[in-house]
């Protein structure tokens, strides 16, 4: 918590606002990996207003920090998604005469604050504006920028312009909601109630966007010479060490498009079209001619309470990658829901699909709040300290079991289907994320951090807060893969799609082939017998967790 508090304290002593800019100065918006949009972007909107007020050119910077991407296991798919959106944004910003420049910091990521402050001094920058990222390394980096500026002011040497970091990534920012005892909430339900009450008590300001539009620069001619050659006006198509194979790149472009109207399309399909069996188990990309007359009753979101629990239905929004990289703001998502439902409050309960969906979006805020309040979770520590180093993870042939899990060859059809979907699409249904996570830590008794890391390397929507939170949540649960499978994919449609070896298996046997077929019969289908016995593994896991809890 101290890091986020330090950031907030330092932000209080930011440069005095009454200072006059020099005539040849510039205003800098530092675009991050999580706010890749022009609309409802707090720092960008503010930077744009400052530039206009002082008649200064606005420039946008984006820094690729390869060292961070490596140490944070960022997925090459997510990087590709980010680069494609950046190329689109560069073109959009060009139309407003706001140049977007990129800079690649290859190895020494800790050098970024120094390099940046030196450049800001060179450019005579009046101000630097960015949105807060709540992860530990990112907070440390931004704190150093604030400290360098503060020191420069005190010592009269170095860049001493305005620096401001804004709360933007969440609907209700970390630190805003505290228990009656003034402590951070550690449990979701009371936190969520406080979250909903907070929004509803500020409803009118929430409903009308507070962030103004980006204003065109009068002229950017002056900014190019000062930025080049160190910064590039080109957005690279890939980054060294994170390239995608040609086919994978094509698949990702098709599944996760970027650019104009994409997020509106995704939200529109969720809010105004009918739920149906998932088509090819791909995110619904095109308008599917399924518009409903009464979205309040018949849309996917209206049926979300049931739809979210069925992996064979196209029952969720598929907006996660766009929220994780900030192509749409979470506020905008909730406003879109409110526009359909109306009324005096943003729906917040579990009684309707609308309220249920907003509660899911609240989980995203909750996990950011957890990151800021308990930064140890960013450093591979369990949230629940009684499990810190106390669980005896399986070490015998764990690599072969881990490989089988990654490749979707465990002999548990729902687990295998889900893992294959992750590999193919960079996405997995939420129910399946829980099932495969619990399977890794309970049935295979493998360290959950291995799974967390693999998810980050594969997901297009990979986000440290939500991914870590999802793993920490799943690690304390135990699921029976076969009975979960019957619930989430009753007819086995999802399994047959992803595990075609089982196409000919009829009825309930699809969920647990080894109960109906011999090992030889399973092998003959080209499938694999179960790599563990669930009942035995369950007993072992319960024992291991009990012992850990007693020690912790």
> Where is the binding site for FAD, in residues?
304, 316-320, 357, 360-367, 461-463
Q: Does 363 bind ligand FAD (CB under 6 A)?
A: yes
Q: Does 317 bind ligand FAD (CB under 6 A)?
A: yes
Q: Does 434 bind ligand FAD (CB under 6 A)?
A: yes
71-75: Cβ within 8 A, 24+ apart: 71/109, 71/137, 72/135, 72/137, 72/456, 72/464, 73/453, 73/456, 73/457, 73/462, 74/242, 74/456, 74/457, 74/462, 75/426, 75/456, 75/457, 75/458, 75/459, 75/460, 75/462
Cβ contact 414:512 at 8 Å: no
Q: Binder to ligand FAD among 84, 90, 148, 433 (CB under 6 A)? A: 433
**Minimum gap (Å) between residue 357 Cβ and ligand FAD:** 6
- Secondary structure (H, E, C), 79-119: HHHHHHHHHHHHHHHHHCCCCEEEEEECCCHHHHHHHHHHH
- 29: β partners: 60, 129
Q: Does 195 bind ligand FAD (CB under 6 A)?
A: no
Nearest to ligand FAD of 233, 453 (CB atom): 453
Among positions 468-507, residues that touch ligand FAD (CB under 6 A) are 469-471, 474
- Residue 75 burial by Cβ neighbours in a 10 Å radius (0-12, 13-18, 19+): buried
Nearest to ligand FAD of 198, 453 (CB atom): 453
Q: Does 418 bind ligand FAD (CB under 6 A)?
A: no
Cβ contact 484:414 at 8 Å: yes
Q: Binder to ligand FAD among 364, 369, 442, 496 (CB under 6 A)? A: 364
Residues 6+ apart with CB under 8 A from 280: 497
Nearest to ligand FAD of 131, 317 (CB atom): 317
Distance in angstroms (rounded) separating the CA atoms of residues 168 and 34: 10
For residue 10, give Cα distances in angstroms to 83, 149, 151, 167, 400.
Answer: 32, 10, 11, 14, 49
Q: Does 174 bind ligand FAD (CB under 6 A)?
A: no
Nearest to ligand FAD of 284, 411 (CB atom): 284
Nearest to ligand FAD of 232, 457 (CB atom): 457
Nearest to ligand FAD of 113, 451 (CB atom): 451
**Minimum gap (Å) between residue 320 Cβ and ligand FAD:** 3
- Give the binding range for ligand FAD (CB under 6 A) out of 117-125, 157-165, 231-239, 466-474: 466-474
- Give the binding range for ligand FAD (CB under 6 A) out of 72-80, 396-404, 455-463, 515-523: 455-463
Cβ contact 436:415 at 8 Å: yes
Q: Does 461 bind ligand FAD (CB under 6 A)?
A: yes
Nearest to ligand FAD of 160, 308 (CB atom): 308
Q: Does 323 bind ligand FAD (CB under 6 A)?
A: yes
Where does this chain bind ligand FAD (CB under 6 A)? 308, 316-320, 323-324, 360-361, 363-364, 367, 430, 433-434, 437, 455, 459, 461-463, 466-467, 469-471, 474
């Amino acid at each position: 918590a101290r890091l986020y508090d330090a950031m907030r304290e330092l932000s209080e002593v930011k440069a005095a606002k009454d200072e006059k800019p020099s005539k040849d100065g510039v205003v800098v918006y530092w675009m991050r990996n999580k706010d890749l949009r022009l609309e409802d972007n707090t720092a960008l909107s503010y930077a744009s207003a400052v530039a206009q007020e002082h008649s200064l050119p606005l420039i946008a910077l984006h820094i690729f920090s390869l060292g961070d991407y490596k140490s944070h296991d960022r997925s090459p798919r997510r990087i590709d998604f980010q680069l494609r959106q950046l190329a689109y944004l560069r073109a959009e910003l060009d139309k407003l005469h706001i140049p977007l420049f990129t800079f690649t910091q290859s190895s020494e990521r800790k050098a970024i604050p120094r390099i940046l402050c030196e450049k800001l001094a060179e450019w005579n920058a009046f101000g630097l504006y960015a949105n807060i990222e709540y992860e530990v390394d990112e907070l440390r980096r931004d704190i150093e920028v604030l400290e360098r500026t503060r020191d420069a002011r005190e010592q009269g040497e170095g860049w001493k312009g305005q620096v401001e970091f804004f709360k933007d990534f969440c609907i209700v920012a970390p630190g805003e909601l505290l228990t009656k005892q003034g402590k951070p909430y550690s449990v979701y339900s009371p936190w969520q109630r406080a979250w909903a009450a907070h929004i509803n008590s500020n409803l009118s300001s929430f409903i009308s966007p507070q962030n103004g539009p980006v204003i065109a620069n009068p002229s950017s001619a002056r900014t190019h010479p000062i930025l080049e050659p160190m910064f590039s006006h080109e957005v690279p198509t890939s980054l060294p060490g994170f390239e995608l194979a040609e086919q994978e790149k094509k698949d990702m472009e098709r599944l996760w498009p970027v650019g104009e109207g994409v997020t509106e399309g995704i939200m529109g399909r969720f809010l105004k079209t009918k739920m149906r069996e998932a088509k090819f188990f791909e995110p619904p990309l095109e308008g599917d001619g399924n518009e409903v007359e009464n979205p309040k009753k018949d849309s996917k979101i209206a049926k979300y309470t049931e739809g979210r629990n069925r992996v064979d239905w196209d029952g969720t929004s598929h907006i996660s990658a766009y929220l994780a990289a900030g192509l749409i703001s979470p506020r905008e998502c909730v406003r879109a829901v409110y526009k359909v439902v109306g009324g005096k409050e943003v729906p917040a309960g579990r009684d309707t699909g609308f309220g249920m969906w907003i509660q899911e979006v609240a989980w995203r805020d909750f996990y950011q709040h957890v990151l800021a309040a308990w930064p140890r979770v960013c450093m591979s520590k369990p949230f629940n300290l009684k499990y810190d180093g106390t669980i005896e993870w399986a070490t015998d042939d764990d690599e072969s079991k881990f490989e089988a899990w990654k490749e979707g060859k465990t002999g548990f059809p729902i687990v295998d289907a889900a893992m294959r979907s992750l590999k193919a699409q960079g996405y997995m249904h939420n129910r399946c994320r829980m099932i495969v996570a619990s399977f890794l830590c309970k049935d295979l008794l493998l360290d959950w951090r291995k799974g967390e890391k693999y998810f980050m390397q594969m997901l297009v929507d990979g986000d440290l807060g939500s991914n870590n939170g999802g793993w920490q949540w799943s690690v304390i649960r135990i699921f029976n893969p076969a009975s979960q499978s019957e619930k989430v994919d009753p007819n086995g449609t999802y399994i047959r799609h992803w595990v075609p070896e089982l196409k000919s298996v009829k009825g309930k046997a699809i969920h647990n082939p080894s109960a109906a077929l011999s090992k030889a019969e399973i092998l003959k289908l080209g499938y694999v017998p179960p790599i563990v016995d669930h009942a035995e593994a369950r007993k072992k896991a319960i024992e291991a967790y009990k012992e850990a809890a007693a020690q912790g």
